[in-house]
Structure 1
Amino acid sequence: MKKLKIAIQKSGRLHNDSLQLLKNCGIHIDNGKDQLKAPAKNFPLEIFYLRNGDSPQYLKDGVVDCAIIGENLLVEKGDDIQVAERLGFSKCRVSLAVSKIFEYDSVQDLNGKRIATSYPVTTQKFLNEQGIQAELHIINGSVEIAPNIGLADAICDIVSSGSTLFKNNLKEVEVLLKSEAVLAVSPRLPEEINKVLDKFLFRIRAVLKGKDYRYVLLNAPNEKLDAIMDLLPGMKSPTILPLAEEGWSSLHSVVNQDEFWDVIDSLKAAGAEGILVCPIEKMVV
Protein backbone atom coordinates (compact mmCIF):
# COMPACT_ATOMS: atom_id res chain seq x y z
CA MET A 1 0.00 0.00 0.00
CA LYS A 2 1.32 3.46 -0.96
CA LYS A 3 2.08 5.84 1.88
CA LEU A 4 0.19 9.02 2.59
CA LYS A 5 2.68 11.91 2.61
CA ILE A 6 1.75 14.52 5.21
CA ALA A 7 3.50 17.81 5.97
CA ILE A 8 3.60 19.20 9.48
CA GLN A 9 5.39 22.23 10.84
CA LYS A 10 9.05 21.51 11.56
CA SER A 11 8.95 23.60 14.73
CA GLY A 12 6.63 26.11 16.29
CA ARG A 13 3.12 26.26 17.66
CA LEU A 14 1.63 23.68 15.26
CA HIS A 15 4.35 21.07 15.65
CA ASN A 16 3.58 19.53 19.03
CA ASP A 17 -0.20 19.58 18.60
CA SER A 18 0.13 17.90 15.20
CA LEU A 19 2.27 15.09 16.60
CA GLN A 20 -0.14 14.67 19.52
CA LEU A 21 -3.04 14.32 17.09
CA LEU A 22 -1.19 11.56 15.23
CA LYS A 23 -0.48 9.85 18.54
CA ASN A 24 -4.14 10.07 19.54
CA CYS A 25 -4.98 8.48 16.20
CA GLY A 26 -2.81 5.50 17.17
CA ILE A 27 -0.08 6.40 14.69
CA HIS A 28 3.45 5.96 16.00
CA ILE A 29 6.28 7.84 14.32
CA ASP A 30 9.94 6.83 13.92
CA ASN A 31 11.28 10.29 14.54
CA GLY A 32 15.04 10.62 14.74
CA LYS A 33 16.48 13.99 15.67
CA ASP A 34 16.74 16.53 12.84
CA GLN A 35 15.07 14.25 10.30
CA LEU A 36 13.27 15.91 7.41
CA LYS A 37 11.15 12.80 6.81
CA ALA A 38 9.91 10.15 9.20
CA PRO A 39 7.79 7.04 8.53
CA ALA A 40 4.98 5.77 10.74
CA LYS A 41 5.53 2.37 12.33
CA ASN A 42 1.97 1.11 12.10
CA PHE A 43 0.18 3.10 9.40
CA PRO A 44 0.97 3.81 5.72
CA LEU A 45 2.02 7.40 6.39
CA GLU A 46 5.20 9.42 6.06
CA ILE A 47 5.77 12.82 7.68
CA PHE A 48 7.58 15.67 5.97
CA TYR A 49 8.81 18.29 8.46
CA LEU A 50 8.53 21.62 6.65
CA ARG A 51 8.51 25.33 7.32
CA ASN A 52 4.88 26.23 7.77
CA GLY A 53 5.00 28.86 5.04
CA ASP A 54 6.30 26.33 2.51
CA SER A 55 3.47 23.82 2.92
CA PRO A 56 0.95 25.47 0.56
CA GLN A 57 3.38 25.27 -2.38
CA TYR A 58 4.28 21.66 -1.56
CA LEU A 59 0.56 20.87 -1.62
CA LYS A 60 0.04 22.65 -4.94
CA ASP A 61 2.99 20.80 -6.49
CA GLY A 62 1.84 17.42 -5.18
CA VAL A 63 5.08 16.88 -3.24
CA VAL A 64 2.93 16.07 -0.21
CA ASP A 65 -0.60 14.66 -0.22
CA CYS A 66 -1.90 16.61 2.76
CA ALA A 67 -0.71 18.98 5.47
CA ILE A 68 -1.63 20.10 8.95
CA ILE A 69 -1.45 23.84 8.46
CA GLY A 70 -2.85 27.08 9.77
CA GLU A 71 -5.96 28.14 7.89
CA ASN A 72 -4.54 31.67 7.73
CA LEU A 73 -1.73 30.42 5.47
CA LEU A 74 -4.19 28.82 3.07
CA VAL A 75 -6.01 32.14 2.77
CA GLU A 76 -2.67 33.89 2.13
CA LYS A 77 -0.95 31.37 -0.14
CA GLY A 78 -3.35 28.62 -1.15
CA ASP A 79 -7.01 29.58 -1.23
CA ASP A 80 -7.51 27.04 -4.04
CA ILE A 81 -6.46 24.19 -1.72
CA GLN A 82 -9.29 22.16 -0.17
CA VAL A 83 -9.72 21.71 3.59
CA ALA A 84 -10.61 18.13 4.51
CA GLU A 85 -11.08 18.70 8.24
CA ARG A 86 -10.91 21.52 10.76
CA LEU A 87 -8.79 20.36 13.71
CA GLY A 88 -9.74 22.78 16.47
CA PHE A 89 -6.27 23.59 17.82
CA SER A 90 -3.73 26.40 17.29
CA LYS A 91 -6.52 28.97 17.08
CA CYS A 92 -5.51 32.51 16.23
CA ARG A 93 -6.63 35.47 14.18
CA VAL A 94 -5.11 37.77 11.59
CA SER A 95 -5.55 41.30 12.89
CA LEU A 96 -4.60 44.89 12.31
CA ALA A 97 -2.91 46.65 15.22
CA VAL A 98 -1.68 50.15 15.83
CA SER A 99 0.30 51.94 18.53
CA LYS A 100 -1.60 52.51 21.78
CA ILE A 101 -1.22 56.26 21.24
CA PHE A 102 -2.68 56.07 17.70
CA GLU A 103 -6.12 57.71 17.76
CA TYR A 104 -8.10 55.03 15.95
CA ASP A 105 -11.84 55.37 15.38
CA SER A 106 -12.41 53.30 12.24
CA VAL A 107 -10.61 51.56 9.42
CA GLN A 108 -10.77 54.84 7.48
CA ASP A 109 -8.01 56.11 9.77
CA LEU A 110 -5.60 53.82 7.87
CA ASN A 111 -6.04 55.74 4.61
CA GLY A 112 -2.62 56.83 3.38
CA LYS A 113 -0.84 55.00 6.20
CA ARG A 114 1.97 52.45 6.09
CA ILE A 115 1.18 48.88 7.18
CA ALA A 116 3.84 46.26 7.91
CA THR A 117 2.75 42.66 7.42
CA SER A 118 3.72 39.09 6.64
CA TYR A 119 0.27 38.63 5.09
CA PRO A 120 0.17 41.02 2.11
CA VAL A 121 -2.53 39.13 0.18
CA THR A 122 -4.90 38.98 3.16
CA THR A 123 -4.18 42.58 4.12
CA GLN A 124 -4.60 43.97 0.60
CA LYS A 125 -7.85 42.09 0.10
CA PHE A 126 -9.25 43.60 3.30
CA LEU A 127 -8.10 47.09 2.36
CA ASN A 128 -9.66 46.76 -1.10
CA GLU A 129 -12.96 45.66 0.44
CA GLN A 130 -12.91 48.69 2.73
CA GLY A 131 -11.83 51.11 0.01
CA ILE A 132 -8.61 51.98 1.83
CA GLN A 133 -5.44 53.14 0.10
CA ALA A 134 -2.40 52.19 2.19
CA GLU A 135 1.26 51.37 1.59
CA LEU A 136 2.25 47.80 2.49
CA HIS A 137 5.70 46.89 3.80
CA ILE A 138 6.23 43.12 3.57
CA ILE A 139 8.22 41.77 6.52
CA ASN A 140 9.02 38.19 7.46
CA GLY A 141 9.17 37.94 11.23
CA SER A 142 9.12 40.52 14.05
CA VAL A 143 6.39 42.54 12.38
CA GLU A 144 5.29 43.98 15.72
CA ILE A 145 8.39 46.17 16.08
CA ALA A 146 7.67 48.12 12.87
CA PRO A 147 5.64 50.96 14.48
CA ASN A 148 8.19 51.37 17.27
CA ILE A 149 11.07 51.95 14.83
CA GLY A 150 9.12 54.23 12.53
CA LEU A 151 8.83 51.75 9.65
CA ALA A 152 5.02 51.63 9.69
CA ASP A 153 1.94 53.18 11.27
CA ALA A 154 0.18 49.84 11.71
CA ILE A 155 0.79 46.11 11.39
CA CYS A 156 -1.22 43.13 10.21
CA ASP A 157 -0.15 39.86 11.82
CA ILE A 158 -1.40 36.75 13.57
CA VAL A 159 -2.62 37.21 17.15
CA SER A 160 -3.19 34.46 19.70
CA SER A 161 -3.28 35.75 23.27
CA GLY A 162 -2.40 39.35 22.41
CA SER A 163 0.59 39.35 24.78
CA THR A 164 3.08 40.17 22.00
CA LEU A 165 1.02 43.20 21.01
CA PHE A 166 0.85 44.31 24.64
CA LYS A 167 4.62 44.00 25.10
CA ASN A 168 5.17 46.18 22.04
CA ASN A 169 2.64 48.85 23.08
CA LEU A 170 0.21 47.94 20.33
CA LYS A 171 -3.56 47.57 20.35
CA GLU A 172 -5.66 45.29 18.15
CA VAL A 173 -8.18 47.30 16.12
CA GLU A 174 -9.52 45.04 13.35
CA VAL A 175 -9.87 41.25 12.98
CA LEU A 176 -9.49 40.26 9.33
CA LEU A 177 -10.05 36.53 9.79
CA LYS A 178 -10.10 33.80 12.42
CA SER A 179 -7.94 30.74 11.94
CA GLU A 180 -7.21 27.29 13.34
CA ALA A 181 -5.22 24.24 12.29
CA VAL A 182 -6.77 22.33 9.39
CA LEU A 183 -5.96 19.23 7.38
CA ALA A 184 -5.50 20.48 3.82
CA VAL A 185 -5.35 18.16 0.80
CA SER A 186 -3.28 18.52 -2.35
CA PRO A 187 -5.22 19.20 -5.57
CA ARG A 188 -2.86 16.62 -7.13
CA LEU A 189 -3.74 13.85 -4.70
CA PRO A 190 -3.12 10.50 -6.48
CA GLU A 191 -6.21 8.35 -6.85
CA GLU A 192 -4.53 5.39 -5.16
CA ILE A 193 -3.97 7.45 -1.98
CA ASN A 194 -7.67 8.20 -1.43
CA LYS A 195 -8.31 5.03 0.58
CA VAL A 196 -5.41 5.77 2.94
CA LEU A 197 -6.58 9.36 3.35
CA ASP A 198 -10.11 8.15 4.15
CA LYS A 199 -8.75 5.84 6.86
CA PHE A 200 -6.68 8.69 8.27
CA LEU A 201 -9.68 11.04 8.30
CA PHE A 202 -11.80 8.36 9.98
CA ARG A 203 -9.32 8.24 12.87
CA ILE A 204 -9.03 12.02 13.11
CA ARG A 205 -12.81 12.47 13.23
CA ALA A 206 -13.16 9.82 15.93
CA VAL A 207 -10.58 11.65 18.06
CA LEU A 208 -12.15 15.08 17.49
CA LYS A 209 -15.65 13.77 18.20
CA GLY A 210 -14.47 12.25 21.47
CA LYS A 211 -13.14 15.63 22.62
CA ASP A 212 -16.57 17.17 22.12
CA TYR A 213 -18.37 14.76 24.47
CA ARG A 214 -18.26 13.33 27.98
CA TYR A 215 -19.44 9.89 29.08
CA VAL A 216 -21.95 10.14 31.94
CA LEU A 217 -23.02 7.39 34.34
CA LEU A 218 -25.64 8.01 37.01
CA ASN A 219 -28.08 6.29 39.34
CA ALA A 220 -31.76 7.18 39.54
CA PRO A 221 -35.02 5.86 41.05
CA ASN A 222 -37.13 4.12 38.43
CA GLU A 223 -40.06 6.52 38.83
CA LYS A 224 -37.81 9.37 37.66
CA LEU A 225 -36.28 7.59 34.66
CA ASP A 226 -38.54 9.14 32.04
CA ALA A 227 -37.74 12.70 33.12
CA ILE A 228 -34.01 11.94 33.26
CA MET A 229 -33.99 10.16 29.90
CA ASP A 230 -35.40 13.30 28.30
CA LEU A 231 -32.21 15.03 29.41
CA LEU A 232 -29.92 12.23 28.19
CA PRO A 233 -30.66 11.30 24.60
CA GLY A 234 -27.22 9.70 24.14
CA MET A 235 -26.12 8.49 20.73
CA LYS A 236 -29.59 7.05 20.06
CA SER A 237 -31.00 6.58 23.55
CA PRO A 238 -29.47 6.13 27.02
CA THR A 239 -28.37 2.69 28.20
CA ILE A 240 -30.38 1.60 31.26
CA LEU A 241 -29.23 -1.17 33.60
CA PRO A 242 -31.05 -2.34 36.76
CA LEU A 243 -29.17 -1.94 40.03
CA ALA A 244 -29.00 -4.55 42.79
CA GLU A 245 -31.12 -2.22 44.91
CA GLU A 246 -34.73 -2.70 43.89
CA GLY A 247 -36.40 0.30 42.29
CA TRP A 248 -33.18 1.85 41.06
CA SER A 249 -31.38 1.86 37.71
CA SER A 250 -28.08 3.04 36.26
CA LEU A 251 -28.11 5.20 33.14
CA HIS A 252 -25.17 5.54 30.75
CA SER A 253 -25.03 8.21 28.07
CA VAL A 254 -22.95 10.96 26.46
CA VAL A 255 -23.23 14.72 26.88
CA ASN A 256 -21.93 17.43 24.59
CA GLN A 257 -19.08 19.29 26.27
CA ASP A 258 -20.63 22.68 25.45
CA GLU A 259 -23.86 21.73 27.24
CA PHE A 260 -22.25 19.70 30.00
CA TRP A 261 -22.75 21.83 33.12
CA ASP A 262 -26.31 22.83 32.25
CA VAL A 263 -27.20 19.17 31.69
CA ILE A 264 -25.58 18.10 34.97
CA ASP A 265 -27.54 20.75 36.88
CA SER A 266 -30.76 19.55 35.24
CA LEU A 267 -29.96 15.89 36.01
CA LYS A 268 -29.45 16.66 39.69
CA ALA A 269 -32.70 18.61 39.82
CA ALA A 270 -34.51 15.66 38.17
CA GLY A 271 -33.32 13.23 40.86
CA ALA A 272 -30.08 11.76 39.48
CA GLU A 273 -27.51 10.63 42.06
CA GLY A 274 -23.96 9.32 42.01
CA ILE A 275 -23.15 11.08 38.74
CA LEU A 276 -19.83 9.94 37.26
CA VAL A 277 -18.28 11.77 34.31
CA CYS A 278 -15.48 10.33 32.14
CA PRO A 279 -13.55 11.73 29.18
CA ILE A 280 -14.00 9.98 25.84
CA GLU A 281 -10.78 9.09 24.05
CA LYS A 282 -12.41 8.36 20.70
CA MET A 283 -15.98 8.32 19.45
CA VAL A 284 -17.06 6.45 16.33
CA VAL A 285 -20.51 7.33 15.02
Structure 2
Amino acid sequence: MKKLCLGLPKGSLQEATIDMMKKAGYTVIVNSRSYYPTIDDDEISVRLIRPQDMSRYIEKGIIDAGLTGADWVKEAESDVRVVVSLIYAKQQLTKVKWVLAVPETSAIHTVNDLQGKKIATELVNVTRRYLAERGIVADIEFSHGATEAKAPDLVDAIVELTETGNSLRANKLRIVETIMESSTLLIANHNAWEDEWKRTKIENLAMLFEGAIIAREKVGLKMNVPNGALDQVLKKLPALRKPTISSLSEGAGYAIETVLDETIARKITPELKRAGAEGIIEYPLNKVIL
Protein backbone atom coordinates (compact mmCIF):
# COMPACT_ATOMS: atom_id res chain seq x y z
CA MET A 1 0.00 0.00 0.00
CA LYS A 2 1.22 3.48 -0.87
CA LYS A 3 1.79 5.83 2.03
CA LEU A 4 2.28 9.54 2.44
CA CYS A 5 4.78 10.44 5.17
CA LEU A 6 3.40 13.50 6.98
CA GLY A 7 5.29 15.58 9.49
CA LEU A 8 3.42 17.27 12.33
CA PRO A 9 5.00 20.04 14.44
CA LYS A 10 6.13 18.95 17.88
CA GLY A 11 5.88 21.54 20.61
CA SER A 12 3.71 24.62 21.04
CA LEU A 13 1.79 24.13 17.79
CA GLN A 14 1.21 20.40 18.32
CA GLU A 15 -2.10 20.55 20.19
CA ALA A 16 -3.62 23.15 17.85
CA THR A 17 -2.57 21.07 14.83
CA ILE A 18 -4.07 17.85 16.14
CA ASP A 19 -7.29 19.71 17.01
CA MET A 20 -7.40 21.18 13.50
CA MET A 21 -6.89 17.71 11.98
CA LYS A 22 -9.72 16.35 14.15
CA LYS A 23 -12.03 18.97 12.66
CA ALA A 24 -10.75 17.99 9.21
CA GLY A 25 -11.79 14.41 9.87
CA TYR A 26 -8.54 12.79 11.06
CA THR A 27 -8.02 11.33 14.52
CA VAL A 28 -4.38 11.55 15.57
CA ILE A 29 -3.32 9.86 18.81
CA VAL A 30 0.01 10.82 20.34
CA ASN A 31 1.85 8.61 22.81
CA SER A 32 3.85 10.82 25.16
CA ARG A 33 6.94 8.61 24.67
CA SER A 34 6.76 8.24 20.91
CA TYR A 35 7.49 10.45 17.93
CA TYR A 36 5.23 8.30 15.75
CA PRO A 37 1.55 9.13 16.39
CA THR A 38 -1.19 6.93 15.00
CA ILE A 39 -3.74 8.24 12.51
CA ASP A 40 -6.98 6.71 11.29
CA ASP A 41 -5.87 6.70 7.65
CA ASP A 42 -3.94 3.69 6.41
CA GLU A 43 -2.49 5.76 3.56
CA ILE A 44 -0.72 8.21 5.90
CA SER A 45 2.17 7.68 8.30
CA VAL A 46 2.80 10.47 10.80
CA ARG A 47 5.93 11.66 12.54
CA LEU A 48 6.39 14.46 15.07
CA ILE A 49 9.23 16.81 14.12
CA ARG A 50 10.38 20.10 15.57
CA PRO A 51 9.07 22.95 13.38
CA GLN A 52 12.62 24.31 13.12
CA ASP A 53 13.74 21.09 11.39
CA MET A 54 10.65 20.26 9.33
CA SER A 55 11.48 22.01 6.06
CA ARG A 56 15.01 20.56 5.92
CA TYR A 57 13.72 16.99 6.19
CA ILE A 58 11.05 17.68 3.57
CA GLU A 59 13.58 19.27 1.23
CA LYS A 60 15.72 16.11 1.50
CA GLY A 61 12.71 13.84 0.86
CA ILE A 62 12.87 12.11 4.24
CA ILE A 63 9.33 13.42 4.82
CA ASP A 64 6.87 13.91 1.94
CA ALA A 65 4.92 16.81 3.41
CA GLY A 66 4.41 18.56 6.71
CA LEU A 67 3.15 21.50 8.70
CA THR A 68 5.53 24.15 9.96
CA GLY A 69 5.88 27.90 10.23
CA ALA A 70 6.78 30.12 7.30
CA ASP A 71 9.41 31.59 9.63
CA TRP A 72 11.30 28.30 9.89
CA VAL A 73 11.16 27.69 6.13
CA LYS A 74 12.65 31.14 5.62
CA GLU A 75 15.23 30.62 8.35
CA ALA A 76 16.44 27.35 6.80
CA GLU A 77 16.17 28.72 3.23
CA SER A 78 14.62 25.38 2.27
CA ASP A 79 13.63 24.61 -1.31
CA VAL A 80 10.16 23.14 -0.81
CA ARG A 81 6.71 23.39 -2.38
CA VAL A 82 4.35 25.65 -0.41
CA VAL A 83 0.93 24.03 -0.80
CA VAL A 84 -1.21 26.30 1.35
CA SER A 85 -0.94 28.88 4.13
CA LEU A 86 -3.10 28.06 7.14
CA ILE A 87 -3.88 30.87 9.56
CA TYR A 88 -3.87 29.27 12.98
CA ALA A 89 -1.52 29.43 15.93
CA LYS A 90 -1.16 28.15 19.49
CA GLN A 91 -3.86 30.37 20.98
CA GLN A 92 -5.69 32.17 18.18
CA LEU A 93 -6.65 32.02 14.51
CA THR A 94 -4.03 34.58 13.64
CA LYS A 95 -0.56 35.07 12.24
CA VAL A 96 2.31 35.28 14.69
CA LYS A 97 5.07 37.89 14.64
CA TRP A 98 8.80 37.93 15.17
CA VAL A 99 9.52 41.26 16.81
CA LEU A 100 12.57 43.21 17.83
CA ALA A 101 12.11 44.00 21.51
CA VAL A 102 14.15 45.87 24.10
CA PRO A 103 13.77 46.69 27.80
CA GLU A 104 11.22 49.42 28.51
CA THR A 105 14.00 51.76 29.70
CA SER A 106 16.34 51.09 26.75
CA ALA A 107 17.67 53.96 24.64
CA ILE A 108 17.04 51.85 21.52
CA HIS A 109 14.00 53.22 19.68
CA THR A 110 14.58 52.26 16.02
CA VAL A 111 16.44 49.56 14.16
CA ASN A 112 19.20 52.08 13.40
CA ASP A 113 20.03 52.20 17.11
CA LEU A 114 21.17 48.56 16.95
CA GLN A 115 24.49 49.39 15.27
CA GLY A 116 27.17 47.47 17.18
CA LYS A 117 24.68 46.04 19.68
CA LYS A 118 24.18 42.44 20.81
CA ILE A 119 20.95 40.62 19.92
CA ALA A 120 19.71 37.18 21.03
CA THR A 121 17.25 35.16 18.97
CA GLU A 122 16.38 31.71 17.64
CA LEU A 123 15.77 33.27 14.23
CA VAL A 124 19.40 34.10 13.54
CA ASN A 125 19.53 33.98 9.73
CA VAL A 126 16.34 35.96 9.17
CA THR A 127 17.44 38.58 11.70
CA ARG A 128 20.90 38.86 10.14
CA ARG A 129 19.44 39.36 6.66
CA TYR A 130 16.91 41.88 7.99
CA LEU A 131 19.62 44.01 9.58
CA ALA A 132 22.01 43.66 6.62
CA GLU A 133 19.33 45.01 4.26
CA ARG A 134 19.25 48.13 6.45
CA GLY A 135 23.02 48.49 6.74
CA ILE A 136 23.12 47.50 10.40
CA VAL A 137 26.05 45.49 11.76
CA ALA A 138 25.28 43.82 15.07
CA ASP A 139 26.37 40.79 17.08
CA ILE A 140 23.58 38.22 16.69
CA GLU A 141 23.75 35.16 18.93
CA PHE A 142 21.59 32.05 18.91
CA SER A 143 19.28 31.71 21.89
CA HIS A 144 18.45 28.24 23.18
CA GLY A 145 15.39 29.51 25.05
CA ALA A 146 14.20 31.93 27.73
CA THR A 147 15.12 34.71 25.32
CA GLU A 148 12.99 37.34 27.10
CA ALA A 149 15.11 36.99 30.23
CA LYS A 150 18.39 37.86 28.48
CA ALA A 151 17.80 41.59 28.08
CA PRO A 152 19.24 43.83 29.39
CA ASP A 153 21.89 41.94 31.40
CA LEU A 154 23.18 39.62 28.66
CA VAL A 155 22.12 41.34 25.42
CA ASP A 156 20.87 44.73 24.30
CA ALA A 157 17.85 43.45 22.38
CA ILE A 158 16.03 40.28 21.39
CA VAL A 159 14.10 39.07 18.37
CA GLU A 160 11.32 36.89 19.69
CA LEU A 161 8.14 35.20 18.51
CA THR A 162 4.90 36.62 19.88
CA GLU A 163 1.24 35.87 19.39
CA THR A 164 -0.38 38.17 21.94
CA GLY A 165 2.55 40.19 23.31
CA ASN A 166 1.68 39.18 26.87
CA SER A 167 5.01 37.48 27.60
CA LEU A 168 6.97 40.50 26.39
CA ARG A 169 4.96 42.87 28.55
CA ALA A 170 5.32 40.56 31.55
CA ASN A 171 9.09 40.77 31.13
CA LYS A 172 8.97 44.58 30.81
CA LEU A 173 9.98 44.59 27.16
CA ARG A 174 8.64 46.87 24.44
CA ILE A 175 8.44 46.19 20.73
CA VAL A 176 10.62 48.33 18.45
CA GLU A 177 9.83 46.74 15.07
CA THR A 178 8.24 43.66 13.54
CA ILE A 179 10.84 41.57 11.71
CA MET A 180 8.33 39.29 9.97
CA GLU A 181 4.87 37.80 10.22
CA SER A 182 4.45 34.05 9.97
CA SER A 183 1.64 31.59 9.40
CA THR A 184 1.55 27.81 9.41
CA LEU A 185 2.36 26.29 6.03
CA LEU A 186 1.59 22.91 4.54
CA ILE A 187 4.73 22.24 2.52
CA ALA A 188 5.80 19.34 0.32
CA ASN A 189 8.91 17.81 -1.16
CA HIS A 190 9.19 18.59 -4.87
CA ASN A 191 9.50 14.94 -5.90
CA ALA A 192 6.53 13.97 -3.76
CA TRP A 193 4.53 16.76 -5.39
CA GLU A 194 5.36 15.37 -8.84
CA ASP A 195 4.07 11.92 -7.80
CA GLU A 196 0.42 11.94 -8.91
CA TRP A 197 -0.85 9.78 -6.03
CA LYS A 198 1.03 11.74 -3.34
CA ARG A 199 0.07 15.07 -4.87
CA THR A 200 -3.62 14.16 -4.81
CA LYS A 201 -3.30 13.05 -1.18
CA ILE A 202 -1.56 16.30 -0.23
CA GLU A 203 -4.13 18.40 -2.10
CA ASN A 204 -6.91 16.57 -0.27
CA LEU A 205 -5.25 17.35 3.06
CA ALA A 206 -4.91 21.01 2.09
CA MET A 207 -8.59 21.26 1.17
CA LEU A 208 -9.76 19.61 4.39
CA PHE A 209 -7.36 21.60 6.59
CA GLU A 210 -8.52 24.88 5.06
CA GLY A 211 -12.13 23.84 5.53
CA ALA A 212 -11.51 23.03 9.20
CA ILE A 213 -9.91 26.41 9.86
CA ILE A 214 -12.66 28.36 8.09
CA ALA A 215 -15.27 26.45 10.11
CA ARG A 216 -13.75 27.40 13.47
CA GLU A 217 -15.19 30.91 13.25
CA LYS A 218 -18.52 29.98 11.65
CA VAL A 219 -21.76 28.27 12.63
CA GLY A 220 -24.75 26.86 10.85
CA LEU A 221 -28.15 28.44 11.45
CA LYS A 222 -31.56 26.85 10.81
CA MET A 223 -35.00 28.38 11.32
CA ASN A 224 -38.60 28.27 10.20
CA VAL A 225 -40.24 31.44 8.87
CA PRO A 226 -43.96 32.11 8.38
CA ASN A 227 -45.05 33.19 4.90
CA GLY A 228 -45.49 36.84 5.78
CA ALA A 229 -42.11 37.22 7.49
CA LEU A 230 -39.75 35.86 4.82
CA ASP A 231 -38.62 39.18 3.32
CA GLN A 232 -38.07 40.75 6.73
CA VAL A 233 -35.97 37.80 7.94
CA LEU A 234 -33.85 37.66 4.76
CA LYS A 235 -32.95 41.35 5.14
CA LYS A 236 -31.33 40.56 8.47
CA LEU A 237 -29.59 37.39 7.33
CA PRO A 238 -26.09 37.59 5.81
CA ALA A 239 -24.77 34.39 4.28
CA LEU A 240 -21.51 32.80 3.21
CA ARG A 241 -23.07 32.42 -0.22
CA LYS A 242 -26.87 32.54 -0.27
CA PRO A 243 -29.20 30.96 2.29
CA THR A 244 -30.99 27.75 1.39
CA ILE A 245 -34.75 28.27 1.37
CA SER A 246 -37.25 25.41 1.13
CA SER A 247 -41.02 25.27 1.55
CA LEU A 248 -42.57 23.74 4.65
CA SER A 249 -45.35 21.18 4.26
CA GLU A 250 -48.93 22.33 3.86
CA GLY A 251 -47.82 25.83 2.90
CA ALA A 252 -46.87 26.68 6.49
CA GLY A 253 -43.96 28.88 5.46
CA TYR A 254 -40.28 28.30 4.80
CA ALA A 255 -37.24 26.56 6.26
CA ILE A 256 -34.03 28.56 6.00
CA GLU A 257 -30.49 27.29 6.48
CA THR A 258 -27.25 29.25 6.19
CA VAL A 259 -23.63 29.51 7.35
CA LEU A 260 -22.27 32.69 8.90
CA ASP A 261 -19.68 34.03 11.34
CA GLU A 262 -20.39 33.04 14.94
CA THR A 263 -19.99 36.65 16.08
CA ILE A 264 -22.68 37.72 13.62
CA ALA A 265 -24.99 34.87 14.63
CA ARG A 266 -25.01 35.91 18.28
CA LYS A 267 -25.87 39.47 17.26
CA ILE A 268 -28.69 38.79 14.80
CA THR A 269 -30.41 35.79 16.42
CA PRO A 270 -32.61 37.99 18.65
CA GLU A 271 -33.32 40.20 15.63
CA LEU A 272 -34.37 37.16 13.57
CA LYS A 273 -36.71 36.09 16.35
CA ARG A 274 -38.30 39.54 16.46
CA ALA A 275 -38.62 39.53 12.66
CA GLY A 276 -40.74 36.36 12.86
CA ALA A 277 -38.28 33.45 12.69
CA GLU A 278 -39.20 30.40 14.78
CA GLY A 279 -37.37 27.26 15.94
CA ILE A 280 -33.95 28.85 15.46
CA ILE A 281 -31.15 26.29 15.78
CA GLU A 282 -27.44 27.15 15.84
CA TYR A 283 -24.94 24.33 15.39
CA PRO A 284 -21.14 24.03 15.19
CA LEU A 285 -19.31 23.09 12.00
CA ASN A 286 -16.31 20.86 11.40
CA LYS A 287 -15.44 21.92 7.84
CA VAL A 288 -16.54 24.58 5.39
CA ILE A 289 -15.27 23.87 1.88
CA LEU A 290 -15.55 26.97 -0.29
TM-score (norm 1): 0.85
Match of 2:92 in 1: none
Alignment of 1:1-285 (within 5 A): 1-10=1-10, 12-29=11-28, 31-78=30-77, 80-90=79-89, 91-149=95-153, 151-189=154-192, 191=195, 192-230=197-235, 231-233=237-239, 235-242=241-248, 248-257=253-262, 259-261=264-266, 264=269, 267=272, 270-285=275-290
- Contact map agreement 1:60 1:188 (CA 8 A) in 2: no
Structure 2 distance, partners of 1:109, 1:267, is: 57
Structure 1 distance, partners of 2:206, 2:24, is: 10
- Contact map agreement 1:27 1:43 (CA 8 A) in 2: no
CA displacement at 1:227 relative to structure 2: 4.2
Structure 2 distance, partners of 1:82, 1:259, is: 36
- Contact map agreement 1:222 1:249 (CA 8 A) in 2: yes
Q: 1:20 to 1:134 in 2, by over 3 A?
A: same
- Contact map agreement 2:124 2:142 (CA 8 A) in 1: yes
- Contact map agreement 1:212 1:257 (CA 8 A) in 2: yes
Structure 2 distance, partners of 1:33, 1:153, is: 38
Poorly superposed stretches of 4+, deviation over 6 Å: none
Structure 1 distance, partners of 2:70, 2:56, is: 14
Structure 2 distance, partners of 1:75, 1:15, is: 20
Aligned-CA RMSD value: 2.7
Structure 1 distance, partners of 2:199, 2:261, is: 31
**3-state SS, counterpart of residue 98 of structure 2:** strand
- Contact map agreement 2:148 2:158 (CA 8 A) in 1: yes
- Contact map agreement 1:243 1:250 (CA 8 A) in 2: no
Structure 2 distance, partners of 1:30, 1:117, is: 33
% identity of equivalent residues? 24
**3-state SS, counterpart of residue 155 of structure 1:** strand
Once the two structures are superposed, residues 21-60 of structure 1 have per-residue CA deviations (whole angstroms, 9 ceiling, x without a partner) of: 2333332346444223344343411111222211121011
**3-state SS, counterpart of residue 173 of structure 1:** strand
Q: 1:239 to 1:120 in 2, by over 3 A?
A: same
Q: 1:30 to 1:277 in 2, by over 3 A?
A: closer
**3-state SS, counterpart of residue 208 of structure 2:** helix
Structure 1 distance, partners of 2:9, 2:238, is: 41
Q: 1:41 to 1:270 in 2, by over 3 A?
A: closer
Structure 1 residue runs without a partner (length 5+):
none
Structure 2 residue runs without a partner (length 5+):
90-94
Question: How many pairs are equivalent?
Answer: 282
CA displacement at 1:155 relative to structure 2: 0.5
CA displacement at 1:266 relative to structure 2: 6.1
**3-state SS, counterpart of residue 195 of structure 1:** helix
**3-state SS, counterpart of residue 55 of structure 2:** helix
Once the two structures are superposed, residues 57-97 of structure 1 have per-residue CA deviations (whole angstroms, 9 ceiling, x without a partner) of: 10110110111112221221145433222333214210010
**3-state SS, counterpart of residue 251 of structure 1:** strand
Structure 2 distance, partners of 1:161, 1:137, is: 25
Once the two structures are superposed, residues 145-165 of structure 1 have per-residue CA deviations (whole angstroms, 9 ceiling, x without a partner) of: 22232x311000111232332
